[in-house]
Amino acid sequence: MSSILDVLWLLIALPLGSAVVLLLAGRRADRWGHYLGCATVAASFVLGVLAFLALQARTDRSVEETLFRFLGVGSLKVDIGLLYDPLSAVFVLLITGVGLLIHVYSIGYMAHDSARRRFFAYLNLFVAAMLLLVLANNFVVVYIGWEGVGLASYLLIAFWYYKPAAASAAKKAFLMNRVGDVGLALAIFLMFANLGTTSYSGVFAGVGNLSSVTATTVGILLLLGACGKSGQFPLQAWLPDAMEGPTPVSALIHAATMVTAGVYLIVRASPIFNASPTAQLMVCIVGAVTLLIGCIIGCAKDDIKRVLAYSTMSQIGYMFLAAGLGGPAYALAILHLLTHGFFKAGLFLGAGSVMHGMKDQTDIRRFGGLARVMPATAITFGLGYLAIIGLPPLSGFFSKDPIIQHAFDRPGWSGWAFGGAALLGAGLTAFYMTRLMVLTFFGRRRWAAASGGQLPEPKESPWVMTAPMGALAVGSVAAGFLLSNADALSNWLAPVVGAPVESVAHKLEPLTVTWSVLGAVMLGVVIAAAMFARGTARSEPVTANPIVLAARRNLYADVINEAVFVRLGAWAMRVLVFVDSRGVDGTINGLAAVCGGTSARLRRLQTGFVRSYSLTMLVGVVAVILAFSLAVFR
């Protein structure tokens, strides 16, 4: 009898098959397409749960399954192979679970879109690619899934392709992801060149034989890949723009799952990072810098989805920081990833619900007082809000607080720097999230004035949307406690990232850290509440504060990208086009012109007069005779 663990490929095949059916069936599938989409993800979820239970029953907690040989040339052997271990199991549950909720939500959210079937096809494609990514047993298959989710992300951001902003954002996302992909690809090449294999087991077994320079290089290249996918500094600029896609996409791909693939990669490759303290330090720096960037810009944004996007960036910064700290903090990174998956997806769905009610308005300055008209949204959003700012006993507290604790534990100056950054980030998170909450759900009803009374009263979204929001809110409340109680997650992940250390000597007392975090959070909440309780101006207040100005312009990331890459690229392109048409092709055409011109002149010798021909002949004969004579009589 075959166990569920023998047919893991079904997990991927179901949503993939659904995507293919939906894309090929065309308009015929419009009526039932979304049900098929949801059903296959639900089936994958059920299979995921069954597989999880089956894995729990096993002692070795790791199942490998080779499907077929993908590439085999000489010593290079790449199989399409799956690895189901505690880490993949957790991700499978997150992807299919949160994915299922968001699929259900999309039925309602996209109900009025004529291309809903296509939307579900892309969502299914994404789920399949993401599952392939986390179930891979070697780095090449990871890469396949890695680019696959990039494609799904591209398709979904550009779902409303007729909006130029959406089309540009999709292209930007794909390109910046590709920069990261180059890092991942080079890391794979380096692994093969040094270890002769790309499989997890082979690479991790051989890490000890790598020189420290190679290990560091591989680590940094993997980090580059992770930065691209997870919207981390310096490749962060695409993530906020990706909000041009439909809101369920932002919730599923650009908050809960795909953007956390970078964290997954670093945790998965933990043996490599463990071998290179420098690479770990780089991961920490990237995490700390990004979490601050995200917070600072988040404070200055007025678009509800962009605030959440910068918040996502910042929270993933926490995960990177944790992953960079290594050791017991790997499990914390995954813990924060899971709790973040719940509360951020819930927040995005809430934002989508608000937009649904407000006729796609996203500017929080035009919201206000929505708690009264959209109670279910307000409650679920509120729970997500409390979770993200880290209020005990909601889930964000259980995941964020220990990360800050461990950041301080790092020896030397870096401990203070990372801990301080994380602490500051916690306060800023509280500030901008409170601002978002207050401006959206409390205070005056600015939308009534904004529309001049033309807008009908916003209505609460249908149950098909609020039910998933409720489920995610439950997760936001309870997941943190359940997963961290008695180190449940750490113990579960122990086969992958190492067992949790029994007694850790903390540099700072845990209670001290907890209280300072709570103090920072409270400070942020109070300041924001005081500033925005009475609403805000309809337009951006004029200010000369350089930090605010910089934050409004995304800390000049787009300006720098524009100046360095776009301008320089366009200039190089024009130069090369000129060189190609005038230089390279010009040389050839010039050569042709010289030949043509010369022959045009030489042609004139052909006068048509017989006498001139005979003179030429005579001259020729005389010349030949002279030449012979010279040769003979010299």
Partner 1 sequence: MAHVPLFSLLIAVPLLGVALIALLPRRAEQLAKPIALGAALVVFSGTVAMWFGWRTDGPRFQYPESYTWIPQFGSAFTLGADGIAAVMVALVGVLVPIVVLASWHDAEPGKHSVRAFFALVLVLESFMLGVFAATDVLVFYVFFEVMLVPMYFLISSYGGPRRQYAAVKFFLYSLVGGLLMLASVIGLYAISSNQLGKGTFSFEALLSLHIDPVTQRWLFLGFFIAFAIKAPLIPFHTWLPDASAQAPIGVSVLLVGALDKVGTYGMLRYCLPLFGSAAYDFAPWIIGLSVAGILYGAILAVGQSDMKRLVAYTSIAHFGFIALGVFAFTAQAGTGAVLYMVNHGLSVGALFLVVGFLISRRNSSLISDFGGMARLMPWIAGVFLIAGLSALSLPGTNSFASEFLILIGAFGAHKAATIVATVGIIFAALFVLWLYQQTMHGPLIPELAVTDSPARLAVRDITRREVAVISPLIGLILLLGVYPQPVIDVINPAVDRTLADLHISSGR
Partner 2 sequence: MSPTYYLILAAALFTIGAVGVLVRRNAIVVFMCVELMLNALNLTLVTFSRINGTLDGQVMAFFVMVVAAAEVVIGLAIIMAIFRSRSSTSVDDANILKY
Q: Which parts of this chain interact with partner 2 (CB under 8 A)?
A: 603-604, 606-611, 614-615, 618
Nearer to partner 2, 201 or 614 (CB): 614
Considering only residues 3 through 42, tell me which ones interact with partner 1, judged by CB under 8 A.
23
H/E element holding 64?
A: strand 63-73
- Residue 23: contacted member of partner 2, partner 1, none (CB under 5 to 8 Å, by partner type): partner 1
When CB distances are held under 5 to 8 angstroms depending on the partner's kind, the choice from partner 1, partner 2, none that residue 185 binds is partner 1
Interacting partner of 585 out of partner 1, partner 2, none (Cβ under 5 to 8 A depending on kind): partner 1
Residue 76, SS3? strand
CB of 616 to partner 2, least distance (A): 11
Q: Nearest approach, Cβ of 590 to partner 1 (angstroms)?
A: 12
Give me the least distance between CB of 625 and partner 2, in Å please: 12
What is the spatial distance between Cα 499 and Cα 542, in angstroms, rounded to a whole number? Answer: 53
Please report how close the Cβ of residue 189 comes to partner 1 at its closest, in angstroms.
Answer: 4
Applying the rule CB under 8 A, the residues between 509 and 548 that interact with partner 1 are: none
Q: Which of 32, 35, 189, 628 binds partner 1 (CB under 8 A)?
A: 189
In DSSP notation, 34-53 reads HHHHHHHHHHHHHHHHHHHH
Q: Which is nearer to partner 1, 210 or 513 (CB)?
A: 210
- Residues, the chain: 634
**Binding to partner 1 by residue 193, rule CB under 8 A?**
yes
533 binds, among partner 2, partner 1, none (CB under 5 to 8 A by kind): none
Say which entry of partner 1, partner 2, none residue 511 contacts (CB below 5 to 8 A, set by partner kind). Answer: none
- Least distance in Å: CB of 564 to partner 1? 14
Size of the site for partner 1 (CB under 8 A): 50
289: tokens are 């810098």
Segment near partner 1 (CB under 8 A); pick from 53-61, 189-197, 304-312, 325-333: 189-197
* Contact present, 41 and 96 (Cβ < 8 Å): yes
Q: Is 126 in the site for partner 1 (CB under 8 A)?
A: no
Closer to partner 1 at the Cβ: 569 or 620?
569
Q: Which stretch binds partner 1 (CB under 8 A): 345-353, 363-371, 450-458, 578-586?
A: 578-586
Helices assigned H by DSSP within 360-506: 370-373, 375-389, 395-409, 413-441, 446-450, 463-484, 488-497
For the bound state, the minimum distance from the C-beta of residue 609 to partner 2, rounded and expressed in Å, comes to 5
Q: N- to C-terminal Cα distance for the chain?
A: 105
Best CA proximity match to 169, nearest among 187, 155, 183, 186: 155
Distances (CA, A) of 196 to 49, 190, 207, 221, 273: 35, 9, 12, 18, 19
State the DSSP string of 208-252: GGS-HHHHHHHHHHHHHHHHHHHT-TTS-THHHHGGGS-HHHHHI
CB-based contact 498:362 (threshold 8 Å)? no
Whole-number Å distance between alpha carbons of 194 and 215: 10
The gap from C-alpha 84 to its chain's centroid, in whole angstroms, comes to: 23
Closer of 193 and 610 to partner 2 (Cβ): 610
Q: Measured between alpha carbons, how far is 178 from 135 in angstroms, rounded to an integer?
A: 21
459 makes contact, choosing from partner 1, partner 2, none, with CB < 5 to 8 Å by partner type, with none
Considering only residues 154 through 183, tell me which ones interact with partner 1, judged by CB under 8 A.
154, 158, 161-164, 166-168, 170-171, 174-175, 178-179, 181-182
Which of partner 2, partner 1, none does 218 bind, CB closer than 5 to 8 A by kind?
Answer: none
Residue 633 interaction partner, one of partner 1, partner 2, none, beta carbon < 5-8 Å per kind: none
Closest listed residue to residue 219, CA positions, set 247, 170, 186 = 186
Q: How far is the CB of 337 from partner 1 (least distance, A)?
A: 24
Segment lying near partner 1 (by CB under 8 A), choices 58-66, 102-110, 364-372, 569-577? 569-577
Instruction: Please give the Cα distance from 145 to 123 (Å, whole number).
Output: 14
SS3 for 70? strand
d(CA 154, CA 134): 19
CB of 316 to partner 1, least distance (A): 23
Q: Which is nearer to partner 1, 190 or 373 (CB)?
A: 190
Residue 151 vs 448, nearer CB to partner 1: 151
508 interface partner picked from partner 2, partner 1, none, CB below 5 to 8 A per type: none
Nearer to partner 1, 150 or 328 (CB): 150
Q: Which residues contact 358 (CB under 8 A, 6 or more apart)?
A: 366, 367, 370, 447, 455, 458
Q: Which is nearer to partner 1, 185 or 299 (CB)?
A: 185
Note whether 505 binds partner 1 by CB under 8 A.
no
- CA 470, 472, 477, 479 dihedral sign is positive
Q: How far is the CB of 162 from partner 1 (least distance, A)?
A: 6
577 contacts which partner out of partner 1, partner 2, none, CB within 5 to 8 A by kind? partner 1
User: How far is residue 177's CA from residue 162's CA, in Å, rounded to a whole number?
Assistant: 22
Q: Which is nearer to partner 2, 413 or 609 (CB)?
A: 609
| 8 A C-beta contact, residue 336 and residue 403 | yes
Q: What angle do CA 341, 267, 257 make, to 5 degrees?
A: 25
Q: Whose Cβ is closer to partner 1: residue 562's or residue 585's?
A: 585
Pick between residue 136 and residue 321 the one whose CB is nearest to partner 1. Answer: 136
At 74, is the secondary structure helix, strand, or coil?
A: coil
Q: Which does 73 bind (CB under 5 to 8 A by kind): partner 2, partner 1, none?
A: partner 1
- In sequence order, which ranges of 485-584 are alpha helices (DSSP H)? 488-497, 510-532, 546-552, 557-561, 568-578
Binding site for partner 1 (CB under 8 A): 23, 68-74, 76, 140, 143-144, 147-148, 151, 154, 158, 161-164, 166-168, 170-171, 174-175, 178-179, 181-182, 185-186, 188-190, 192-193, 569, 572-574, 576-577, 580, 584-585, 588, 592
